[in-house]
């Protein structure tokens, strides 16, 4: 117990030091949980990658951004210096992550706001009161220019993912963009899964739509969806896939990246 207390005090001091230096770095135990490493560079790398992903798709400094599944705030940390005239809203099912973001990021950037969504999730919120397929995003229609779902649909069952995309379509303005990451099952990626070269072993079928999971007892740990299914969910939400999918190569043993879809609200 003494070692645990010492580690806790050290983590608190490191967080305080990071804040004094103006760096938005989550505490050690949260970095471990999300990235499997305590290195702040992992958080910084994700923050930079997420920011570049949106900027490359037309994000402007005065846009209104919704971060679905904001986690410990990598996108918020990346956008903080950029989104000067806009607004950022993020929500997540993980209460501790949201609390850290609200405590550290919002006081410095009041136009960055965070909410806890009490949605049931076997990994991050097992006692949640609302099923994912019934959760209404707490924002009005057409409130945002951009929506980002990074590593969200990779933890949602098919009906839940389809519902979240419908909610994205509702809260985006016409012409607004959604940037969504998936593990997409295509003929090529399915061959990698069967050959055992994929980053995650999606060996177990889940549901009638061809999705696959790594753990049948806990599908939300990680789930891959067929690309044609993901496209149909987007279309049903009024989101039209724009340009080619950026495939992450997670299936061939050379990369861990997820597949990224950009869609425009009609």
SS3 string, 17-81, reads HHHHCCCCCCCHHHHHHHHCCCCHHHHHHHHHHHHHHHHCCCCCCCCEEEEECCCCCHHHHHHCC
pLDDT of residue 14: 37
pLDDT tens figures, 86-122: 999 999 999 999 999 999 999 999 999 999 999 999 9
Q: How confident is the model at residue 49 (pLDDT cuts 50, 70, 90)?
A: confident
* Residues contacting 219, CB < 8 A, separation 6+: 157, 206, 213
| Domains recognised in the chain with CATH numbers | 39-265 (3.40.50.150)
Residue with tokens 């505490």: 27
Structure-token pair, residue 241? 């896939």
pLDDT tens figures, 183-194: 999 999 999 999
In this structure, what are the phi and psi dihedrals at residue 103, rounded to the nearest 5 degrees? Answer: -75, -35
- Portion of the chain with pLDDT greater than 90, in percent: 77
* Residues contacting 69, CB < 8 A, separation 6+: 91, 92, 93, 149, 150, 151, 152
pLDDT tens figures, 126-137: 999 999 999 999
* Residues contacting 85, CB < 8 A, separation 6+: 61, 62
Q: Identify which of 213, 92, 203 has the alpha carbon closest to the alpha carbon of residue 157.
A: 213
Rg (CA), the chain: 18
In this structure, what are the phi and psi dihedrals at residue 195, rounded to the nearest 5 degrees? Answer: -80, -10
pLDDT tens figures, 139-184: 999 999 999 999 999 999 999 999 999 999 999 999 999 999 999 9
| Triad 47, 211, 178: Cα angle to 5° | 35
C-alpha to C-alpha distance for 114 and 95, rounded to whole angstroms:
10
C-alpha to C-alpha distance for 151 and 124, rounded to whole angstroms:
13
């Amino acid at each position: 117990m003494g070692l645990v207390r010492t580690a806790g005090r050290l983590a608190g001091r490191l967080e305080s030091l990071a804040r004094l230096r103006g760096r938005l770095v989550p505490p050690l135990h949260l970095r471990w949980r999300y990235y499997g490493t305590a290195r702040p560079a992992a958080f910084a790398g994700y923050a930079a990658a997420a920011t570049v992903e949106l900027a490359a798709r037309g994000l402007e400094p005065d846009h209104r951004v919704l971060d679905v599944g904001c986690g410990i705030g990598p996108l918020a940390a990346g956008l903080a210096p950029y989104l000067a005239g806009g607004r950022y809203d993020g929500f997540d099912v993980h209460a501790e992550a949201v609390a850290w973001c609200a405590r550290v990021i919002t006081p410095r950037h009041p136009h960055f706001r965070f909410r806890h969504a009490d949605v049931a999730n076997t990994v991050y919120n097992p006692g949640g009161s609302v099923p994912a397929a019934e959760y209404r995003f707490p924002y009005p229609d057409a409130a945002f220019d951009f929506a980002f779902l990074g590593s969200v649909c990779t933890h949602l069952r098919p009906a839940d993912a389809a519902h979240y995309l419908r909610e994205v379509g509702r809260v985006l303005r016409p012409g607004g963009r959604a940037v969504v990451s998936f593990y997409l099952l295509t003929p090529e990626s399915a061959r990698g899964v069967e050959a055992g070269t994929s980053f995650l072993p999606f060996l177990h079928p889940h549901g009638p739509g061809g999705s696959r999971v790594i753990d049948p007892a806990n599908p939300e740990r990680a789930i891959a969806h067929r690309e044609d299914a993901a496209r149909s969910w987007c279309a049903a939400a009024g989101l039209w896939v724009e340009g080619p999918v950026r495939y992450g190569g997670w299936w061939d043993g050379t990369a861990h990246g997820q597949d990224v879809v950009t869609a425009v609200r009609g």
